Chains A and B, each alone.
Chain A
Amino acid sequence: MPCCALAAFIVGQIIIGLDGIKRFFGIAPSAILDNPATEWRLGSVPAPRKSPRRLGLRWAAVVAVIEIALVAGGAYGLHAHFGHGHDSNPAQIEQCPR
């Protein structure tokens, strides 16, 4: 067993845990996957990498979701702030007629 085994084991448990979650949501197969690194042979065509464009699109989608959430949260915050500020401005509070 190589060194740093405990840390590797913990990282592994996290990865296995994530795999479990993925399987739960049906986005990963249950069997142990083949390792593409072992397929490579000298003289063979290098294994195709994930297209940067495709990867970029995924990241763009993640960023877009976060942005939308932030904008929505910000808008709600502004609305709440000014709404509350409007009510709490002493100058604008209607005095109850005595």
Chain B
Amino acid sequence: MAVAAHEVVQQFITRDAVKGPITAARQRRTLLIYIGMCILGFLPTIFGMSPAMKAAGIGLWIPGGGFVAAGGWAVLLFPISLALFAVSVFAWFGAGMVIAPIIVWLGSAMLAGAMTGDTIWTPALFFVPAMVSAIAIYAYQRADARKQAELQRFEMRKKALPAAIAEAIEVAAPVPSRNDRELSAEDLAAARYLFDRALQPVGEMNGYDKVDQFQTSALRYQINNLGYTLAALQCHYAPNFHGYLTQAQRNLIDLYLHKKIWSYWIYESAWGHLNLTNPDPADKDNIMLTGWFGLHVGMYMLNSGDRRYAEPGSLTFRLNRHRAFPHDIHSLEHSVLRNFLGAPFCLFPCEPNWVYPICNHFGMTSMAVYDRLFGTKYVASALDKWLRSLETEFTDYSGSVIGLRSELTGIRFPFPAGEAGFAIFENCFAPERAQRMWAVARNELKYVIKPDAEGKNRITLPGRGFDFGNYRPGFAGAYASIMDSAREFGDYEIADAAQRALDQDCGRTDQGGVLRYSKGSNLSNIIAVKARLHRRDDFRKAVIEGPPESALRGPILTGVKYPEVLVGRAFSNGDDLELVLYPGTSEGPRQIRIERLRPGASYAMRNGSEHRFVADNNGAADLSVDLRGRTPLQIVPVI
């Protein structure tokens, strides 16, 4: 990847205005609607209508404002209404419940009207507008202060960026050769954390965090991340190992189709889209499913060579005995593209109405893997518009991508998103932009890298941390995510500092041949494995390249039992098969099965000594291998 530092810097410095035309139009519309509500709210007072109407009208100014007009004990309902409104807003962006704030606001106004007696408390006519004005002034001042801080940060970044990009490019390790890729015994212990979860019978969910199915701890994110990690493992370490590696990935895909995993959409489409009849999870919005799952299935297909999910109905979301939503990789990706091209922001919502740029990065990456699989041009057809929208509608004054924006109102929630998390995806479809984002992230990460008691660098983050996988304190997710991004950009110094912090702070446990972090969520543990196995450009290659053609047509290892036989490497140059195996339980002879050999051809298995065999008519052979520690094997055709 040839990235010229000056080009990347220039793009950043000359970027467009922050508030894009659609955001500005949506915010204008929201303001006009609110002004309309205020005018409507004052009409009963101007025209001397009944006290009930006056109170209800005041209630349109602010949630619960009508109770102030009702006077007496009803005033106590005002703060309760405000609190309830805050909860309803939380339900709105947490689970797409668009109707919740509307119900609370209008409902409190109507209730206030019903509770009002013969007269209203006249000072409310001045008190409520004064309070609304005070809130507006406060909000404006806060927004302005935030803008000034972001602008200041932008100026600092502008100054530091040229050197930061040059340094990031300079320190990046080279892309490793496929010949050097092999899982160590420790890597395999970490990978067993994944296999244990993925190889249990489909439908069982032992070892997962089960908190809720709407937010970041939802099972779907744990399943998707397991899928990404196993697909990347297959791509870079074992493209010629199928057996339990592909079985594990298919199990995860099958598990995802279970109603428990995707049924959140039944509720969200009902209370967010007011759609009670068609809860198809891959129709409108819901990029947290189509984008994430599309990437998951696509990565499996690309790196295993298995094309079964291109068959119609191969990804069917069954609602009940009578109703199902048949999909496949084509319909999932078509849904992503259709939503991108049809959405006003181009980026489209997860929960109804809320646009999260990070999920849209998953969506664009899923189209990249789809293009690689089927030769389509989905990315090319949407990327320019998409990037322009990202730059103009979803970037703050400091140059960072924002966390989320309301599609309906244009309001942005002030939540930091972090450059490192976006950079890894953009490396698949916009590598120059990705390099710039990583350089920004890297430059700011320098401040949290400090030597530990042994004088070795580690990351030290302030506070108690927060684990998005189970909503508990802890840094496992943060360390693992930093490590993952750093590895993608070849910055092993930062990655090693993150690994060290993970090992020191997060309860590293090596038990029963499985490496895990006891103080992290399941999601954080999975990302920690992903990061551990990650090398320069691995994610990019697992999405837009996949294994070489020779590996996809060469012999494959299939029939090995888990965890008896662990596979550190399985790679073919076309006719041969290179394996590195480890005993997972005890040392001794183990049966392995090789397939996709040339039927009836003679082969030799070399492991210090040489053992000759002939492939059967199906191109398969069952062999016995004595596993003692690291056991390298080479299977070659004999002429």
Chain A interfacial positions (CB closer than 8 Å to B): 1-12, 15-16, 19, 32-35, 37-42, 44, 46-47
Query: Within the complex, which residue of B95, B358, B418, B464 is in contact with A3, where a contact is CB–CB below 8 Å?
Result: B358
The 6 closest A-B pairs by CB, nearest first: A7-B94, A40-B207, A8-B216, A12-B471, A42-B196, A3-B359
Q: Which residues of A contact B351 (CB under 8 A)?
A: 4
Smallest Cβ-Cβ distance to B521: which chain A residue: A35
Q: Is B150 an interface residue (CB 8 A)?
A: no
- B472 with A33: CB separation less than 8 A: yes
Taken together as a complex, chains A and B put the C-alpha atoms of A11 and B471 apart, in Å, by: 7
Contact digits for B112-135, partner A, Cβ 8 Å, 1 yes 0 no: 000000000000000000000000
> Which of B350, B358, B518 has the largest count of A CB atoms less than 10 A from its CB?
B518
Smallest Cβ-Cβ distance to B466: which chain A residue: A12
Query: Within the complex, which residue of A10, A33, A40 is in contact with B196, where a contact is CB–CB below 8 Å?
Result: A40
Q: Which residues of B contact A5 (CB under 8 A)?
A: 216, 356, 358, 403-404, 415, 417, 468
Query: Within the complex, which residue of B195, B210, B215, B481 is in contact with A11, where a contact is CB–CB below 8 Å?
Result: B215
Taken together as a complex, chains A and B put the C-alpha atoms of A38 and B199 apart, in Å, by: 15
- B520 with A2: CB separation less than 8 A: no
Taken together as a complex, chains A and B put the C-alpha atoms of A37 and B526 apart, in Å, by: 12
Q: Size range of the interface on B?
A: 35 or more
Smallest Cβ-Cβ distance to B208: which chain A residue: A37
Given contacts A1-B358, A2-B221, A35-B522, contact A8 B207 (CB under 8 A): no
Contact digits for B510-545, partner A, Cβ 8 Å, 1 yes 0 no: 001010111111110100000000000000000000
- B356 with A3: CB separation less than 8 A: yes
Taken together as a complex, chains A and B put the C-alpha atoms of A36 and B563 apart, in Å, by: 22
> Which of A32, A38, A40, A44 has the largest count of B CB atoms less than 10 A from its CB?
A38
Smallest Cβ-Cβ distance to A39: which chain B residue: B518
Q: Main SS of the interface on chain B? A: loop
Q: A91 to nearest B CB, angstroms?
A: 30
Q: Is B93 an interface residue (CB 8 A)?
A: yes
Taken together as a complex, chains A and B put the C-alpha atoms of A1 and B523 apart, in Å, by: 11
Q: Supply 29 A–B pairs (Cβ within 8 Å), ascending by A.
A: A2-B216, A2-B523, A4-B215, A4-B351, A5-B356, A7-B90, A7-B94, A7-B95, A7-B216, A8-B217, A8-B471, A11-B94, A12-B466, A12-B468, A12-B471, A12-B472, A15-B471, A16-B472, A34-B507, A35-B518, A35-B521, A37-B207, A38-B516, A41-B207, A42-B195, A42-B563, A44-B512, A46-B206, A47-B206
Q: Is B288 an interface residue (CB 8 A)?
A: yes
- B519 with A35: CB separation less than 8 A: yes
- B512 with A41: CB separation less than 8 A: yes
Q: Which residues of B contact A8 (CB under 8 A)?
A: 215-217, 468, 471
Taken together as a complex, chains A and B put the C-alpha atoms of A9 and B216 apart, in Å, by: 9
Q: Which residues of A contact B195 (CB under 8 A)?
A: 42
- B93 with A6: CB separation less than 8 A: yes
Given contacts A16-B473, A40-B206, contact A3 B216 (CB under 8 A): yes
Taken together as a complex, chains A and B put the C-alpha atoms of A27 and B199 apart, in Å, by: 38
Taken together as a complex, chains A and B put the C-alpha atoms of A6 and B212 apart, in Å, by: 15
Q: Is B421 an interface residue (CB 8 A)?
A: yes
> Which of B93, B217, B471, B481 has the largest count of A CB atoms less than 10 A from its CB?
B471
Q: Is B200 an interface residue (CB 8 A)?
A: yes
Q: Is B435 an interface residue (CB 8 A)?
A: no
Q: Which residues of B contact A37 (CB under 8 A)?
A: 207-210, 470, 521-522
Q: A18 to nearest B CB, angstroms?
A: 11
Q: A45 to nearest B CB, angstroms?
A: 10
